[in-house]
Amino acid sequence: MNELVIRTPDDWHLHFRDGDFLAETVPATARCFRRAIVMPNLTPPVTTADLAVAYRQRILAASPEGSHFEPLMTLYLTDKTTTADIRAARRAGVVAAKLYPAGATTNSSAAVSSLDSLEPVFEALAENAMLLLVHGEVTDGDIDIFDREKVFIDRHLEGIVDRHPGLKVVFEHITTKDAVDFVMDGPITLAATVTPQHLLLNRNDLFVGGIRPHNYCLPVLKRSTHQQALRQAVASGSPKFFLGTDSAPHAKHKKEASCGCAGCYSAWSAIELYAQVFEELGVLDKLEAFASEHGPNFYGLPLNQGTITLAKRPWQIPEVIKMSDGDTIVPFFAGQTVGWQLQG
217 binds, among Zn ion, ligand DOR, none (CB under 5 to 8 A by kind): ligand DOR
Length of the chain: 344
Give the rounded distance of the alpha carbon of 127 from its chain centre.
Answer: 24
- The nearer residue to ligand DOR, 73 or 287, going by C-beta atoms, is 73
Whether 246 is a known active-site residue: answer: yes
- Contact residue for ligand DOR among 7, 13, 15, 198 (CB under 6 A): 15
Give the rounded distance of the alpha carbon of 215 from its chain centre.
Answer: 15
- The nearer residue to ligand DOR, 260 or 318, going by C-beta atoms, is 260
- The nearer residue to ligand DOR, 105 or 292, going by C-beta atoms, is 105
CB of 217 to ligand DOR, least distance (A): 3
Q: Which residues pair with 75 in a beta bridge?
A: 97
x-or-dash pattern for ligand DOR, window 77-106, by CB under 6 A? ----------------------------xx
CB of 101 to ligand DOR, least distance (A): 11
Report how far residue 333's alpha carbon sits from residue 313's, in angstroms, rounded to the nearest whole number: 17
- The nearer residue to Zn ion, 133 or 277, going by C-beta atoms, is 133
End-to-end alpha carbon distance in the chain: 19
Report how far residue 99's alpha carbon sits from residue 131's, in angstroms, rounded to the nearest whole number: 11
x-or-dash pattern for ligand DOR, window 253-292, by CB under 6 A? ---------xx-----------------------------
Please say whether the beta carbons of 283 and 291 come within 8 A. Answer: no
Please say whether the beta carbons of 165 and 156 come within 8 A. Answer: no
Size of interface with ligand DOR, in residues (CB under 6 A): 11
CB of 202 to ligand DOR, least distance (A): 16
| Residues 174-233 close enough to bind ligand DOR by CB under 6 A | 217-218
CB of 152 to ligand DOR, least distance (A): 13
- The nearer residue to Zn ion, 11 or 178, going by C-beta atoms, is 11
| Residues 233-262 close enough to bind Zn ion by CB under 5 A | 246
Burial of 131 (0-12, 13-18, 19+ CB in 10 A): buried
- The nearer residue to Zn ion, 107 or 236, going by C-beta atoms, is 107
**DSSP states along 116-149:** GGGHHHHHHHHHTT-EEEE------TTS-GGGHH
Size of interface with Zn ion, in residues (CB under 5 A): 2
x-or-dash pattern for ligand DOR, window 129-158, by CB under 6 A? ------x-----------------------
Query: Torsion angle, CA of 70/244/184/108, rounded to 10 degrees?
Result: -100
Return the CA Rg of the chain: 19
The 10 Å CB-count burial string (b at 16+, else e) for 289-323 is bbbbbbbbebbeeeebeeebebeeeeeebeeebeb
Residues that bind Zn ion (CB under 5 A): 39, 246
Residues that bind ligand DOR (CB under 6 A): 15, 41, 105-106, 135, 217-218, 246, 248, 262-263
Please give the positions annotated as active site. Answer: 246
